[in-house]
Amino acid sequence: MSLTLASLGADVTLLVDSAGSIIDVAYFDAAIERFGAEDWPGRSWADTVTGESVDKIKSLIDECAKAGSSRAHQVNHPGPRGADLPVEYVLRRIEGFPYLVAYGTDLRECVLAGREALALSEETGQPGLSSVALDTLAIAAANVGDAELTDQVCRRELASGSLRGEVWARAALGRLHLVDDRPELAVEQFALLRRRIGERNASFTQFESDEAEALVRVGRVDEARALLDDLAADAAARGGWSEAQHQRILALLAEDIDVAAEHFERARDALADGANRIAQGIVELTWGEALRRAKRRADARRHLEAAIERFELVGASGLRRRAEAELAAAGGAVDRDRPTDELLTPLELQVARLAVAGHTNRTIAAELFLSPRTVENHLGAVYRKLGVSGRPGLSARAADDAVLRATTAGGGA
């Protein structure tokens, strides 16, 4: 049976009965053996995970029983010396098959392995990745801020012509644009998604909180408020992560910072018993952003530093860069010893390269389809993160930093 399992194409694949007992397990990475995977058959699935993940297993089984397939849930398997194995599972019922199949993605190596699989797929003309793996990879690449990989995966999802593929692709592209601090582009992706599925989201992709955040950040607050009923219904049905998203959007919509803080605190509490470091970090990030806008810079720094810590734990470098930009704007210290392309967001790096090449703010704006004011804001973030003074300081740093002199589209050298 393991040979059959191994052909299903996930990092970890489980056969599970309806009561949640593991019948068999297969995995491709030998390192997973360190987490005791070979001893899982015959045990309850819930007994193989950390305490805060037990409810996630119950949710996977309940959702699959109702709909034939579950949403993706991250759980942690305990490992040696306190190092857990984070796996994102989707549970499915297969017609004519006596057991449920859990497809698990090892989030530690998701982006790296996915990039390699896509490259091999293109070379050989073989599919390479299952739809489940593509879905997970798209979101993971967006969280990392890897625009090239996100675009590559999403193009494949969109080319499939399937509703599922388009929903995941648009949701991932929307998340990528939020990570890159370009909410106006995120709004465009969610509008395309809504055009395909309508007002009611019957898919297994929970994108409403990202959609609402994007709308708030571009000033379309009434449209964001219109999503609150769906967020509240999901929170009432599922609690946990869904409750955190509902409270976070209520916080973003609050006009008073103290009222917002109450909602942010509830969002943080809803995630306290879980292992979703990205969701925890996003709460701290958006809380810090709200405090900075309210001129409470010292309080903002505390939350932004907490966000950076969580994003670093799971390698969410794109979100970490966004948090670091906010921290710098709030007067906090950013680690400037890291490579420039890690310190700056992809858009900031584009702006910096064009500035080094001698383009004015107006020509940079035309090149990147931004307003001159937005270019000025991005350059300000670049100066703060790199610790330089204006364009002269940026040019001086570029003399010793080849990353800032890289060729850019549109003719900049």
pLDDT value of residue 5: 39
Most confident listed range (25-39, 279-293, 337-351, 376-390): 279-293
Alpha-carbon distance of 325 to 214, in angstroms, equals 18
Alpha-carbon distance of 254 to 263, in angstroms, equals 9
Top CATH class, 109-220: mainly alpha
The residue assigned the tokens 């593509």 is: 134
Torsion angle defined by CA atoms of residues 353, 356, 359 and 362, in that order, rounded to the nearest 10 degrees:
70
Provide the 3-class DSSP secondary structure of residue 357: coil
Residue 255, exposed/middle/buried by CB under 10 A (0-12, 13-18, 19+)?
exposed
Average pLDDT over the chain, rounded to an integer: 83
Pairing of strands 12-16, 22-27: antiparallel
* pLDDT tens profile 195-248: 998 888 877 678 999 999 999 999 999 999 999 999 999 899 888 889 999 999
Alpha-carbon distance of 346 to 352, in angstroms, equals 10
- What's the predicted TM-score (pTM) here? 0.60
Residue 410 has pLDDT above 50, yes or no: no
Listing DSSP states for 63-99 in one string gives HHHHHSBPPPEEEEE--GGG--EEEEEEEEE-TT-SS
Residue (of 59, 204, 92) closest to 139 by Cα position? 204
Contact 73, 89 (CB under 8 A): yes
Instruction: Give 87 or 79, the one with higher predicted confidence.
Output: 87
Read off the tokens for 374. 């937005």
* pLDDT tens profile 313-326: 666 778 888 898 89
Q: How confident is the model at residue 270 (pLDDT cuts 50, 70, 90)?
A: very high
CB atoms under 10 Å from CB of 164, counted, come to 16
Residue spans per domain, the chain: 2-106, 109-220, 227-328, 345-405
Residue 55 has pLDDT above 90, yes or no: no
- Which CATH architecture fits 345-405? Orthogonal Bundle (1.10)
Instruction: Please determine, looking at this structure, whether the domain spanning 2-106 carries the CATH number 3.30.450.20.
Output: yes
Q: How confident is the model at residue 340 (pLDDT cuts 50, 70, 90)?
A: confident
Residue 380 has pLDDT above 50, yes or no: yes
Provide the 3-class DSSP secondary structure of residue 219: coil
Alpha-carbon distance of 11 to 126, in angstroms, equals 18
Q: What is the CA radius of gyration of the chain?
A: 22
Extended beta strands in 229-309, E state: none
H helix and E strand count, the chain? 20, 5
Asked if domains 2-106 and 345-405 share a fold, the reply is no
* pLDDT tens profile 94-127: 777 788 988 887 665 555 555 656 566 556 655 5
